[in-house]
């Protein structure tokens, strides 16, 4: 049982070199077994596994080089701990589950846990979130001290939850004894309701007031819930007074939160309020490349640019688009390429085209035919104007969801029948005049990118 000896020597070495808290948190829960000539390092959860790989594996490998003549291959596995009977038969002697797990996992409520996959490591930064990221890392280094509360706001799918959870995870990593609770605001409201129903505010208060870190996600859900706001007010004061960290996310700036008491809103400004903005193109590309890397495959830069260019609204949709491409190529057994990405995202691309504005169409057509925009929208009926006008109307019909009367209106108050006539005319011209058909296609391509 060479591997047992080897592992024992690793334990001895780490116990010497690491502070005991780190040794207990990250090394003790690990184990080593042999499987088909390979050494398998096991961890009880993905978080511990990640720490193992990033922080300690290189040292384990060094030790292996000293221990084995031929260093076996290593493999990693997550094995949830089950009590195992040791050779001694007494039922009381069971190996314990790893002693240190996050306090957040031990919440008596069974919820309030952090998602351990949302870490700083896999959070891509760029102009849009640099400040928020810098502040977040600082909060995680000195919770309760630097910025309290730490208030993150921004639109949907921009990474608020991810960043907040990353702070929580980092704090647990630095201080395994910290009691960290992540609560979506709706869950907190439900908790208040439950305490109300069971008339058990004591237990409720005891729990929330004893936390080291409280994360409340999407606080806009507290709107018009006065009992919730009252309870949160108490928890807030207690925690802040005892220098415990509060992290809040919201879809808007505190002062714009509707239906929230002003005493809460003013307190939200006590610490640091920071916005996460929509990501620019390069950051979207970086995110796609990172997600692909995490997913274990490589993505061509050109494909990443293509997806990032067409999915610009938020990061959740960006991820969704990448998953679609991945699923599509897997299903059709094709490689990920520009071609397959385009096929996989056909629906999204069409939907995006629908968002093209009529202003944009009119300007593009006027530029293309070198005429003035005012002339395009005027009532003048010279031939050099009617053709481009009809072209623009047809494009508006194809690329926007506007109704015929609305399109007519947008062209200087023309009737809906004029729009119908324009569309029919362009359609028939395209089938007989290749020059017009080419113009139409170029305009279509320009507008849809």
Per CB under 6 A, residues contacting ligand ADP are 118, 122-124, 129, 154, 156-162, 287, 315-316, 319
* Other CB atoms within 10 Å distance of the CB of residue 21: 13
Query: Is 13 or 220 the residue whose CB approaches Mg ion more closely?
Result: 220
Q: At its nearest, how many Å lie between ligand ADP and the CB of residue 369? A: 42
Query: Is 315 or 407 the residue whose CB approaches ligand ADP more closely?
Result: 315
Which of 386-400 are b and which e, b meaning 16 or more Cβ less than 10 Å from the residue's Cβ? Answer: ebbbbbbbbbbbbbb
* Long-range pairs for 63-69: beta carbons < 8 A, 24 or more residues apart: 63/6, 63/9, 63/10, 63/13, 64/6, 64/39, 67/5, 67/6, 67/9, 68/2, 68/6
Q: Which does 343 bind (CB under 5 to 8 A by kind): Mg ion, ligand ADP, none?
A: none
Which residues from 294-353 bind Mg ion, rule CB under 5 A? none
Query: Is 135 or 407 the residue whose CB approaches Mg ion more closely?
Result: 135
Query: Is 203 or 301 the residue whose CB approaches ligand ADP more closely?
Result: 301
Q: Which does 123 bind (CB under 5 to 8 A by kind): Mg ion, ligand ADP, none?
A: ligand ADP
Taking the C-alpha atoms of residue 68 and residue 55, their distance in angstroms, rounded to an integer, is 22
Supply 253's token pair. 């700036």
Query: Is 40 or 311 the residue whose CB approaches ligand ADP more closely?
Result: 311
- The strand pairing partners of 167, in sequence order, are none
Taking the C-alpha atoms of residue 424 and residue 407, their distance in angstroms, rounded to an integer, is 15
Q: At its nearest, how many Å lie between ligand ADP and the CB of residue 191? A: 20
Q: Which does 440 bind (CB under 5 to 8 A by kind): ligand ADP, Mg ion, none?
A: none
Q: At its nearest, how many Å lie between Mg ion and the CB of residue 292? A: 23
Q: At its nearest, how many Å lie between Mg ion and the CB of residue 160? A: 5
Q: Which does 159 bind (CB under 5 to 8 A by kind): Mg ion, ligand ADP, none?
A: ligand ADP
Q: Is residue 229 involved in binding Mg ion (CB under 5 A)?
A: no
Q: At its nearest, how many Å lie between ligand ADP and the CB of residue 445? A: 31
Q: Which does 287 bind (CB under 5 to 8 A by kind): ligand ADP, Mg ion, none?
A: ligand ADP
Q: Is residue 161 involved in binding Mg ion (CB under 5 A)?
A: yes
Is the distance from CB of 29 to CB of 81 less than 8 angstroms? yes
Taking the C-alpha atoms of residue 249 and residue 266, their distance in angstroms, rounded to an integer, is 15
Q: Which does 376 bind (CB under 5 to 8 A by kind): Mg ion, ligand ADP, none?
A: none
Q: At its nearest, how many Å lie between ligand ADP and the CB of residue 318? A: 7
Q: Is residue 129 involved in binding Mg ion (CB under 5 A)?
A: no
Dihedral (CA of 216, 233, 242, 100) sign? negative
Query: Is 218 or 439 the residue whose CB approaches Mg ion more closely?
Result: 218
Residue ranges in 315-449 assigned as alpha helix (H): 315-331, 338-344, 346-353, 358-368, 373-376, 383-399, 404-410, 416-432, 434-448
Residues 6+ apart with CB under 8 A from 49: 43, 76, 78
Taking the C-alpha atoms of residue 27 and residue 17, their distance in angstroms, rounded to an integer, is 12
Query: Is 319 or 406 the residue whose CB approaches ligand ADP more closely?
Result: 319
The residue with its CB nearest to Mg ion is 161
Query: Is 156 or 350 the residue whose CB approaches ligand ADP more closely?
Result: 156
Site residues (CB under 5 A) for Mg ion?
A: 161
């Amino acid at each position: 049982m060479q591997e047992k000896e080897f592992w024992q020597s690793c334990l001895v070495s780490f116990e010497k070199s690491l502070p005991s808290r780190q040794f207990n948190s990250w090394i003790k829960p690990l184990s080593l077994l042999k499987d088909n000539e390979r050494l398998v390092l096991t961890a009880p959860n993905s978080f511990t596994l990640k720490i193992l790989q990033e922080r300690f594996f290189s040292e384990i490998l060094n030790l292996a080089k000293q221990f084995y003549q031929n260093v076996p291959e290593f493999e990693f596995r997550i094995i949830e701990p089950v009590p195992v009977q040791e050779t001694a038969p007494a039922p009381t002697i069971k190996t314990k589950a790893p002693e240190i797990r996050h306090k957040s996992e031990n919440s008596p409520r069974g919820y309030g846990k952090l998602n351990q996959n949302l870490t700083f490591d896999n959070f891509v930064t760029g102009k849009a979130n640099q400040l928020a990221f810098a502040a977040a890392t600082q909060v995680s280094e000195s919770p309760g001290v630097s910025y309290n509360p730490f208030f993150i706001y921004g639109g949907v799918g921009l990474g608020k939850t991810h960043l907040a959870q990353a702070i929580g995870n980092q704090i647990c990593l630095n201080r395994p004894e910290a009691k960290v609770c992540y609560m979506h605001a709706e869950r907190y409201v439900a908790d208040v309701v439950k305490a109300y129903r069971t008339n058990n505010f004591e237990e409720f208060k005891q729990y929330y007031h004893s936390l080291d870190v409280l994360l409340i996600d999407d606080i806009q859900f507290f709107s018009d819930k006065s009992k919730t706001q009252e309870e949160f007010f108490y928890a807030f004061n207690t925690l802040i007074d005892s220098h415990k960290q509060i992290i809040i996310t919201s879809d808007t700036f505190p002062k714009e939160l509707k239906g929230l008491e002003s005493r809460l809103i003013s307190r939200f400004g006590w610490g640091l309020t920071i916005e996460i903005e929509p990501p620019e193109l390069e950051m979207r590309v970086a995110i796609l490349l990172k997600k692909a890397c995490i997913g274990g495959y490589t993505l061509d830069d050109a494909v990443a640019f293509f997806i990032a260019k067409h999915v610009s609204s938020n990061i959740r949709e960006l991820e969704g688009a990448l998953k679609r491409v991945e699923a599509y190529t897997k299903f059709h057994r094709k490689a990920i390429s520009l071609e397959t990405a385009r096929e996989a995202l056909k629906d999204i691309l069409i939907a995006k085209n629908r968002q093209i504005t009529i202003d944009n169409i009119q300007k593009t057509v006027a530029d293309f035919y070198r005429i003035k925009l005012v002339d395009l929208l005027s009532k003048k009926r010279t031939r050099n104007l009617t053709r481009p006008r009809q072209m623009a109307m047809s494009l508006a019909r194809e690329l926007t969801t506007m109704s015929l009367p609305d399109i007519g209106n947008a062209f200087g108050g023309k009737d809906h029948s004029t729009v119908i006539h324009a569309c029919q005319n362009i359609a028939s011209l395209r089938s007989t005049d290749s020059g017009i058909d080419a113009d139409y296609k170029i305009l279509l391509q320009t507008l849809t990118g």
